Structure 1
Amino acid sequence: MDLTEFDARVEELRVKSAASQANYGFALIDGRVASDDEIAEIERRMGVTLPTAYKAFMRSYGGGMFGFVDLLPIVGEPDGREDDLLTVNDREFPDRSFVAVAPVGTGDYWAFPVVEGRCRDEVWFCFHDGGEPEAVAAGFLEFVVSHGLKS
């Protein structure tokens, strides 16, 4: 799935998000987008290359709420009260065997496996209590569709 196909798949969520913002004061898509420079800087600081589709998503939609999934932003709030990609991964995966991209809410994370400094496209479920990680999606956009849109 490329970003154009993804955009078409999420059109209904965009409409619902705008209505939710107008009616209730909160959006269903509420992300902090990242610039190319911010993405390059986080890759440098983490010592990894992030997947192309993930970077495109972060430039277009950003980290934060996306339907039913909460994605870690590339850059957190200036006050440091919010988790961001670097903070979480320095704490949870300092060896960079995985790069966490979304908390599950139970102490577990959805993450990219890392091989020789490159994040693979797949998204895996990583257990906080030491269970074996499990593949959940072939790519980041497929992960967001299945978990963010609950399709």
Structure 2
Amino acid sequence: MELTEFEALAEPFCREAAEQQARYGFNPIEGLTVTAAEIAAVERGMAVTLPDRYKAFLTRFGAGLFGFVELFPIVPVPGRYDDLRTVNDQEFPDRDFVVVAPVGTGDHWGFPVVAGRCQEQVWFHYHDVDDDELVAADFLEFLAEQGLKSCSDRALERRD
């Protein structure tokens, strides 16, 4: 999925988020944006190249809460989050996988790494078994599915 296509899908959600901020003081889009230079510094420090669509998202929308997904920020937020590099230094120091979002169960979503380059595909990494699952062809497709769940999707999930 290209960024312009994702922006079109996200636009109604972003409007709704702004309304929620105004009405309730809660915004489901945290928007911890970063610069290309900040991303490059983390890539150098981690010795990996992050996927282009992931980097484009971070400069446009940012990390932190994005709907139903919480993304590790590139730049540490004191007292609030584990950042991308810290989590990956602890969980995947050999850099065969780069986690970008916790699932909340000890599992993570992230990218497999081949020769220092993160693949575009997003995978679900289980913390207790070695049986990762492909969840999306790229990061924007992943966020469209996981982060932009519609109100009707949420209502159906509550019924199940």
Question: Structure 2 length normalisation: TM-score?
Answer: 0.91
Is the 8 Å Cα contact of residues 107 and 125 (structure 2) preserved in structure 1? yes
Q: 1:122: which partner in 2? A: 121
Q: 2:51: which partner in 1? A: 51
Separation (CA, whole Å) in 1 of partners of 2:90 and 2:18: 35
Cα deviation, residue 131, structure 1: 3.2
Separation (CA, whole Å) in 1 of partners of 2:80 and 2:12: 31
Separation (CA, whole Å) in 2 of partners of 1:106 and 1:66: 18
SS in 1 for 2:149: coil
Q: 2:25: which partner in 1? A: 25
Q: Which of these two proteins has the greater Rg computed from alpha carbons?
A: 2
Per-residue CA deviations over 1:82-137 (Å, capped at 9, x if unaligned) read 11100110111111010001000001000100000000000000011123111110
Consecutive unaligned residues of structure 1, counting only runs of 5 or more, are: none
Separation (CA, whole Å) in 2 of partners of 1:38 and 1:44: 10
Q: 2:7: which partner in 1? A: 7
Separation (CA, whole Å) in 2 of partners of 1:83 and 1:130: 23
Q: 1:133: which partner in 2? A: 132
Separation (CA, whole Å) in 2 of partners of 1:19 and 1:75: 27
Separation (CA, whole Å) in 2 of partners of 1:130 and 1:31: 33
Per-residue CA deviations over 1:39-58 (Å, capped at 9, x if unaligned) read 00000000000000000000
- Aligned-pair RMSD on alpha carbons? 1.0
Larger relative strand fraction: 1
1:55-74 superposed matches below 5 A: 55-74=55-74
Cα deviation, residue 150, structure 1: 2.3
AA partner of residue 49 (structure 1): T
Query: Identity across aligned pairs (percent)?
Result: 59
